[in-house]
Structure 1
């Protein structure tokens, strides 16, 4: 991924292993994440190594004045449905509390859409927890449509 400058001078770039503590802190910094994330760095290091080694997956951070203020993961999934369409899946979208309200989340998702188009994806999809009504309104404002019911099976 080529780094990109977003409005306001924020740098969007691929995450490095050194960014992991900041990324995990962003993932844990809300009521749902606080119950799901762990203090043990080992599983995050393993997951980062797998993501970093696979060009179909990008772990991205938004950096402002040297500090990580946002993150997301963008994955590209080949499939047979929709005429063999490539799908882009965005996960783990987070913006630091102090950086919210500046349009950073919107800029990050617009970058995801542009990168997905550039790579030939037919659609950009995401899931969002049913307990996040503010996030639902945010995604809908950006043009995402609640078209499917997502289901998960904890293993």
Structure 2
């Protein structure tokens, strides 16, 4: 398995995975051509230092993705933290430890950037995801809150 930063030509595979579950199918629009907003958002991610979409590649195909953002901070004596969001593994290849390896790569990047912790949010309805994150050592130590604008 290989890992690399996403390129614009990977957007179709990324959006397909984001839309390919019960919650994502209501939040995303996987259609051809992709809505322009995905291209615009990807450009913004590429421009922001410390922000990337990390891909897992197997057999030349995109089989997993996550967004990794390095966040400088003042709290905890100026500690940097890594935020992980938008985690997906292609349904066709689940059970092959791709998600685990993708997280290992993301955490290695976070360490190399000087991060002292990795955090993520996960929808309360994603019980399988919760078990996966707990298996990796994540703890539900805080309650997340969101406000739609």
What's the TM-score once normalised by structure 1's chain length? Answer: 0.91
Alignment partner, residue 5 of structure 2? 14
Query: 1:41 deviation in Å?
Result: 2.2
Task: Give, in whole Å, the separation in 2 of the partners of 1:66 and 1:110.
Answer: 20
Task: Provide Cα deviations, 1:65-111, integer angstroms capped at 9, x if missing partner.
Answer: 12111111100111111111101000111000011100010011111
Alignment partner, residue 148 of structure 1? 142
**What value does the CA root-mean-square deviation take over the aligned residues?**
0.9
Task: Give, in whole Å, the separation in 2 of the partners of 1:67 and 1:112.
Answer: 19
Alignment partner, residue 74 of structure 1? 68
1:104 aligns with 2:95: no
1:28 aligns with 2:22: no
Task: Give, in whole Å, the separation in 1 of the partners of 2:114 and 2:57.
Answer: 27
Alignment partner, residue 4 of structure 1? none
Secondary structure of 2:40's match?
helix
5 Å matches for 1:45-124? 45-124=39-118
Secondary structure of 1:31's match?
coil
Query: 1:61 deviation in Å?
Result: 1.3
Task: Give, in whole Å, the separation in 2 of the partners of 1:110 and 1:60.
Answer: 12
Q: Which consecutive residues of structure 1, in runs of 5 or more, have no partner in the other structure? A: 1-9
Task: Give, in whole Å, the separation in 2 of the partners of 1:28 and 1:115.
Answer: 26
What's the TM-score once normalised by structure 2's chain length? Answer: 0.95
Which runs of structure 1 show a deviation greater than 3 angstroms over 4 or more consecutive aligned residues?
none
